[in-house]
């Protein structure tokens, strides 16, 4: 690939096993790590959180060799803590969503905005060039899109990217953690209140002010939502009607 | 014995009233089984939600695909309209060409940013336009569909740029607050209404008792000179290799299709994936993985051509998310006609042959020039 070794950072969060609740590497971030490993270059993992978490070592088993750790209390501002260690990288890779806490998928965007870097999400493949990188994005319905983006850049990896992280215990023992000082940050209370998910979410709908009869009518009308019916004409006319419909709604290119 | 029984023709002529009810009018002669007259439903317009001059607004931002927004984006508009009080307008900023009306979903003003193809990746330019509109309109809330790509991507860019309070993957909302599912659905987290909301699909009921004003303005979008991104295009994908769930165009056969090779030729012409009803699968004409419906696959194509399919509820369950359903059926009163956007009442074989005839030599697969 490229002659000069690229400096690549992978943002790593901790997830939780959905059954046991035990901490483990975040699945999406493991995909980012594996994609970064395949690119070669000089790779560093960066984590903001509790420095005593043993599960961080598992990232070494999956192929990281060094980890920069920024201590951060639970509920702290992850993006601000991460950017303190992100200067000078050519490529910053992240998973799409953290499975541990909020999982908003916002962190890579906040990091990119703070550092003034471009960001491409839902990436499944990366080819590094000298000043730019070409990435392939996964779109809806099996479509792909290739995008050229200038370096340095932030890349968020598609959750179903076709890479398989592999665990090796020997690597787990060889990893090295560097702990940095925590950035001075005002603690802010999270606006979120968490509760166990029990009920199904309630749909947001207009307050019902109609009479019972009107409600019944609207329920029936909602079901009978048929469109145009064409019964007259020859089969050839009807075939043209179908093509006209498809053309009208830009569903075929003609 | 038998002459004593009074026989009633179950397919007597009927009318469909404006309320969508079937009415059998005694004494009216007509062809058995045919509906005499289909009146237009919903003749009375809904009242406007907005009373007088608005004092503020909510902003919805979405991308159009082939002239229309997704149902997911419609929900975001409806949610904004339901959040708004009588003095708050709902403004919708649409990227890409738009040919559908958004007033039924509650849009009072529609700003169409003509960026050409809404699917083209040009985030620097869209972000500049969106940030400018937010600065100009000072919306109370910004509501967007949290779609996998496109709106979800632009929404996160905008949230990061504006530095506002934001809730993503919102699964439940009300004027008092929002809820999002955390830790993969194990926890529900609630908070008050943030400035910006990215909604998961299925949060909002589209049936509204009111309508928006639906004024439309078009704005010019200057090109963004030093964009850091360049869209290199999408390589064509072979639709035959896509799963039914991923297909954008599906030609589907039911019990009314006797000639399978013609159907396969039709699917090839439209570059479509092939689906089938359970009956067509059970009798061996199609493979099990092609079955659409409750016990088969759930599809979300843009076009679903249902040929010789009656439209049993179990089948309709599989095509709930389809945008355009086109039915070909000899029976105009088959349930599929209630779901289809276009119903052709005729013999499937004849119409399929005419379709092949009319498109002879053409192939709608992307990358194939006719
Ligand atoms: C538990 C359960 C689960 C099920 N799950 C599924 C499922 O996942 N998917 C599914 O599809 N079904 C499912 N079914 C079966 C479903 O109820 C229907 O029986 C089935 O969908 C009917 O298939 P059809 O429309 O092809 O056949 P039919 O009901 O026989 O309909 C054939 C249609 O073709 C029309 N027709 C006939 N000849 C012609 C012609 N020459 N030209 C044009 N039109 C013609 C007829 O007017 C009729 O409307 C399920 C049923 C049960 C009980």
Residue (of B123, B234, B148, B227) closest to A146 by Cα position: B234
**A-interface mutation test, from B189, B270, B320, B349, most A Cβ less than 10 A away:** B189
Q: Distance from the CA of B274 to the center of ligand 1, in angstroms?
A: 16
Cβ atoms of A176 and A64 within 8 Å: the answer is no
Q: Do A102 and B359 touch (CB under 8 A)?
A: no
**Domain ranges, ordered by start, for chain B:** 14-219, 239-358
Q: Is B353 on the interface with A (CB under 8 A)?
A: yes
| A225-245 confidence digits (pLDDT tens) | 668 888 888 999 999 999 999
What DSSP character marks residue A232? S
User: Does the beta-carbon distance from B189 to A99 stay under 8 Å?
Assistant: no
CB contact under 8 A, B303 and A236: no
Min Cα distance A165 → chain B (Å) is 20
Q: Which residue has the higher pLDDT, B242 or B271?
A: B271
Tell which one of B274, B282, B315 to mutate to probe ligand 1, the residue whose CB is within 8 A of the most ligand atoms: B315
Architecture per CATH, domain B239-358, reads as 3-Layer(aba) Sandwich (3.40)
Give the pLDDT confidence of B130-187 residue by residue, as tens digits: 999 999 999 999 999 998 778 999 999 999 999 999 999 999 999 999 999 887 777 8
Say which residues have a Cβ less than 8 Å from residue A113's Cβ, sequence separation at least 6: B157, B160, B161
Match 């207009």 to its residue by tokens.
A206
The pLDDT score that the predictor gives to residue B37 is 43
Q: pLDDT by residue (tens digit) across A19-66?
A: 787 888 888 899 999 999 998 888 899 998 887 788 888 899 998 888
Which atom of ligand 1 is least distant from the CA of B347?
A: 42
Q: Give residue B309 CA to ligand 1 midpoint distance, Å.
A: 5
CB contact under 8 A, A249 and B153: no
Domains of chain A: 3-179 (3.40.50.620), 212-248 (no CATH)
The encoded tokens of residue A220 equal 């029936």
Q: Rounded to an integer, what distance in angstroms lies between the CA atom of residue B10 and that of residue B32?
A: 9
What is the length of chain A? 254
* B275 C-beta closer than 6 A to ligand 1: no
Question: CB of B353 closer than 6 A to ligand 1?
Answer: no
Minimum mean pLDDT range among A174-188, A205-219, B344-358: A205-219
Does domain B14-219 correspond to CATH entry 3.40.50.620?
Answer: yes
The helix (run of H) or strand (run of E) holding residue B316 is: helix B313-316
Q: Which of B149, B161, B342 sits opposite A140 (nearest CB)?
A: B149
Task: Confirm whether B14-219 and B239-358 share one CATH topology.
Answer: yes
Closest atom of ligand 1 to CA, residue B293:
8
**Inter-chain residue contact A192 with B303, CB threshold 8 Å:** no
As a whole number of angstroms, the distance between CA A67 and CA B175 comes to: 44
Report whether residue B256 contacts ligand 1, using a CB cutoff of 6 Å.
Answer: yes
Least confident of A74-78, B24-28, B33-37, B350-354: B33-37
> How many Cα atoms within 13 Å fall on the side-chain side of residue B20?
17
Task: Sort strands B215-219 and B109-113 into parallel, antiparallel or unpaired.
Answer: parallel
Q: Do B279 and B255 form a contact (C-beta atoms < 8 A)?
A: yes
Structure letter (DSSP) for residue B241: G
- Span A107-130, pLDDT tens digits: 999 999 999 999 999 999 999 888
pLDDT at A217: 63
Of B42, B166, B179, the CB nearest to A201: B179
Crossing angle between the packed helical segments A235-248 and B348-358, to the nearest 10 degrees: 60
DSSP A129: -
Of B184, B192, B332, the CB nearest to A229: B332
How many CB atoms are closer than 10 A to CB B23? 11
Please tell me if the CB atom of residue B315 comes closer than 6 angstroms to any atom of ligand 1: yes
């Amino acid at each position: 690939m490229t002659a000069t070794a690229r400096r690549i950072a992978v943002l790593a969060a901790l997830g939780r096993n959905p059954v046991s609740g035990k901490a483990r590497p975040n699945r999406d971030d493991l995909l980012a790590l594996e994609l970064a490993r395949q690119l070669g270059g000089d790779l560093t993992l960066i984590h903001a959180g509790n420095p005593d978490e043993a599960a961080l070592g598992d990232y070494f088993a999956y192929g990281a060799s060094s980890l920069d750790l920024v201590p951060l209390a639970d509920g702290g501002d992850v993006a601000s803590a991460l950017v303190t260690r992100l200067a000078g990288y050519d490529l910053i890779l992240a998973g799409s969503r953290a499975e541990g806490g909020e999982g908003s998928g916002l962190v890579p965007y906040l990091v990119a905005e703070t550092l003034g870097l471009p960001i491409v999400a839902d990436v499944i493949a990366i080819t590094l060039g000298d000043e730019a990188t070409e990435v392939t994005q996964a779109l809806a319905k099996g479509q792909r899109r290739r995008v050229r983006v200038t370096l340095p850049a932030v890349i968020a990896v598609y959750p179903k990217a076709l890479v398989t992280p592999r665990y090796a215990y020997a690597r787990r023992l060889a990893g090295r953690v560097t702990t940095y000082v925590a950035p001075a940050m005002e603690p802010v209370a999270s606006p979120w209140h968490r509760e166990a998910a029990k009920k199904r979410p309630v749909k947001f709908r207009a307050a019902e002010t109609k009479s019972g009869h009107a409600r019944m009518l609207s329920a029936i009308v909602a079901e009978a939502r048929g469109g145009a019916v064409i019964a007259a004409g020859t089969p050839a006319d009807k075939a043209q009607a179908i093509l006209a419909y498809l053309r009208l709604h830009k569903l075929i290119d003609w | 014995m038998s002459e004593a029984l009074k026989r009633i023709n179950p397919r007597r002529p009927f009318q469909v009233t404006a309320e969508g009810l079937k009415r059998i009018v005694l004494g009216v002669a007509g062809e058995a089984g045919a509906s005499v007259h289909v009146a237009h439903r919903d003749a009375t317009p809904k009242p406007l939600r907005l009373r007088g001059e608005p004092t503020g607004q909510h902003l919805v931002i979405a991308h159009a695909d082939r002239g229309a927004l997704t149902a997911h984006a419609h929900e975001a508009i409806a949610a904004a309209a339901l959040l708004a009080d009588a003095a708050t307008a709902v403004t919708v900023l649409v990227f890409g060409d738009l040919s559908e009306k958004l007033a039924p979903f509650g849009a009072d003003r529609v700003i169409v940013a003509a960026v050409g193809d809404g699917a083209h990746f040009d985030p620097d330019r869209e972000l500049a336009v969106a940030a400018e509109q937010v600065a100009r309109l000072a919306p109370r809330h910004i509501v967007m569909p949290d779609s996998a790509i496109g709106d979800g991507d632009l929404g996160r860019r905008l949230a990061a740029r504006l530095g506002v309070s934001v809730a993503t993957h919102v699964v439940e909302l009300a004027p008092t607050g929002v809820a999002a599912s955390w830790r993969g659905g194990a926890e529900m987290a609630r908070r008050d209404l943030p400035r910006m909301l990215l909604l998961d699909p299925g949060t909002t009921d589209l049936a509204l008792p009111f309508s928006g004003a639906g004024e439309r303005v078009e704005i010019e979008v200057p090109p963004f000179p030093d964009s850091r991104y360049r869209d290199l295009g999408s390589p064509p994908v072979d639709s035959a290799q896509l799963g039914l769930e991923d297909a954008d165009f599906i030609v589907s056969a039911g019990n009314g299709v006797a000639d399978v090779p013609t159907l396969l030729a039709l699917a090839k012409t439209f570059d479509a994936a092939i689906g089938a009803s359970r009956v067509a699968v059970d009798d061996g004409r199609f493979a099990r993985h092609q079955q659409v419906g409750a016990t088969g696959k759930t599809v979300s194509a843009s076009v679903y051509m249902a040929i010789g399919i009656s439209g049993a509820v179990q089948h309709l369950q599989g095509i709930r998310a389809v945008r355009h359903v086109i039915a070909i059926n000899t029976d105009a009163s088959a349930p599929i006609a209630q779901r289809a956007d276009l119903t052709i009442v005729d013999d499937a074989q004849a119409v399929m042959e005419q379709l092949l005839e009319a498109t002879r030599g053409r192939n709608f697969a992307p990358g194939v020039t006719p």
